[in-house]
Amino acid sequence: MKKQLFFWTACICMALSFSACSLMDQDFDETLIIGTWTVDGNSTDHWRFDANGTGASWDEADDVTEEEAQAFSWSISGSELTIVHQIGMTGQDAIPKSYKLTELTATHMTFKDTITGKSTSLTKIR
């Protein structure tokens, strides 16, 4: 009887330990995101994150330059990266998009779309 009690207690402790790890939210140093990045596998697709929480994205394959880029604002909370694209000429319409950061270093970033599950990897170029 004692062996069974010990066995089930150990099983419960292990189950709680494994689930606790997945609930922890990793914090990322948001200063590492500052700079210009290109999407891995598509060197014409650029994202620029500025220190003031703003940025821009553009794709040279679509004949769009950095000066014509789509403006956005961004923020990081824990492992959540939120990007709000400013739409329209006045920028009054905004579309928020939420991503889960899985990696953020001085030279590489990977995030996952929280709706579609699609991962995107970027490499810092400056």
State the burial class of residue 41 (Cβ atoms within 10 Å of its Cβ: 0-12, 13-18, 19+): exposed
What confidence tier does 19 reach under pLDDT thresholds 50, 70, 90? very low
Question: Can you give the pLDDT at residue 22?
Answer: 45
Does 2.40.128.280 match the CATH number of domain 26-124? yes
According to DSSP, residue 65 is labeled -
Q: How far apart are CA 99 and CA 59, in angstroms?
A: 20
Assess contact for 121 and 108: CB atoms under 8 A: yes
Assess contact for 7 and 14: CB atoms under 8 A: no
Q: What is the pLDDT of residues 101-126, one digit of tens each?
A: 999 999 999 999 999 999 999 999 99
What confidence tier does 26 reach under pLDDT thresholds 50, 70, 90? confident
User: Which of the two residues, 23 and 99, has the higher pLDDT score?
Assistant: 99
Q: How far apart are CA 51 and CA 90, in angstroms?
A: 22
Domain coordinates of the chain in residue numbers?
26-124
User: Which of the two residues, 101 and 26, has the higher pLDDT score?
Assistant: 101
Q: Span 58-62, mean pLDDT?
A: 95
SS3 92: coil
